[in-house]
Amino acid sequence: MSNPSTLTTLADWLTHIERQHGQTIALGLERVRQVKNTLNIPQTVPVITVAGTNGKGSVCAMLERILLCAGYRVGLYTSPHLLNYNERVRIAGEAMNDASLCDAFAQVEAARNDVPLTYFEFGTLAAWVAFAAAKVEVVILEVGLGGRLDAVNAFDTDCAIITSIDIDHTEYLGETRELIGFEKAGVLRAGKPAILGDAKPPTSVLKHAEKLGVNLQILGRDFGYSGDQVQWAWWSSEAKQEKARQKSPSLNADALSGDNSVTRRGELSVTRRGGLAHPALRGLIQLGNASVVMAALNALSDVLPVAMQDIRRGFAEVELPGRFQVLAGLPTVVLDVAHNPQAAGILSDSLGNMAFHPDTWAVFGMLSDKDIKGVVERIKGRIDHWMLATLDEPRGSTAEALKTVLAEQGIKPAGLFDTPAAAWQAARERAKENDRIVVFGSFHTVADVLRDLATGTK
Please provide residue 218's backbone torsions phi and psi, each rounded to the nearest 5 degrees. Answer: -115, 135
Please provide residue 392's backbone torsions phi and psi, each rounded to the nearest 5 degrees. Answer: -85, 65
Q: What is the pLDDT of residue 250?
A: 40
Return the closest-CA partner of residue 387 out of 352, 337, 438.
438
CA distance 94 to 314: 15
**CB-based contact 361:431 (threshold 8 Å):** yes
Name residues whose C-beta falls within 8 Å of residue 206's C-beta, 6 or more positions apart in sequence: 216
Domains of the chain: 325-455 (3.90.190.20)
CA distance 80 to 57: 10
**In 135-278, alpha helices (H):** 170-173, 177-184, 203-212, 241-247
CA distance 81 to 58: 14
CA distance 217 to 299: 9
CA distance 122 to 137: 23
SS (H, E, C) 50-93: EECCCCHHHHHHHHHHHHHHCCCCEEEECCCCCCCHHHHEEECC
**CB-based contact 299:195 (threshold 8 Å):** yes
Return the closest-CA partner of residue 13 out of 81, 108, 77, 87.
108
Radius of gyration of the chain (CA): 22
pTM of the entire predicted model: 0.91
DSSP per residue, 110-148: HHHTT----HHHHHHHHHHHHHHHHT-SEEEEE-SSSST
- Across-strand partners of 20? none
Please provide residue 352's backbone torsions phi and psi, each rounded to the nearest 5 degrees. Answer: -65, -20
CA distance 346 to 52: 15
CA distance 441 to 424: 13
CA distance 358 to 5: 58
Number of C-alpha atoms within 13 angstroms, CB side, residue 116? 10
**Burial class of residue 211, CB neighbours in 10 A (0-12, 13-18, 19+):** exposed
Q: What is the pLDDT of residue 263?
A: 62
Please provide residue 142's backbone torsions phi and psi, each rounded to the nearest 5 degrees. Answer: -95, 125
| Full pLDDT tens readout for the chain, 458 residues | 566 768 999 999 999 999 998 788 889 999 999 999 999 999 999 999 999 999 999 999 999 999 999 999 999 999 999 999 999 999 999 999 999 999 999 999 999 999 999 999 999 999 999 999 999 999 999 999 999 999 999 999 999 999 999 988 888 899 899 999 999 999 999 999 999 999 999 999 999 999 999 989 999 999 999 988 889 999 999 764 444 433 333 443 333 334 566 665 556 778 899 999 999 998 879 999 999 999 999 999 999 999 999 999 999 999 999 999 999 999 999 999 999 999 999 999 999 999 999 999 999 999 999 999 999 999 999 999 999 999 999 899 999 999 999 999 999 999 999 999 999 999 999 999 999 999 999 999 999 999 999 987 54
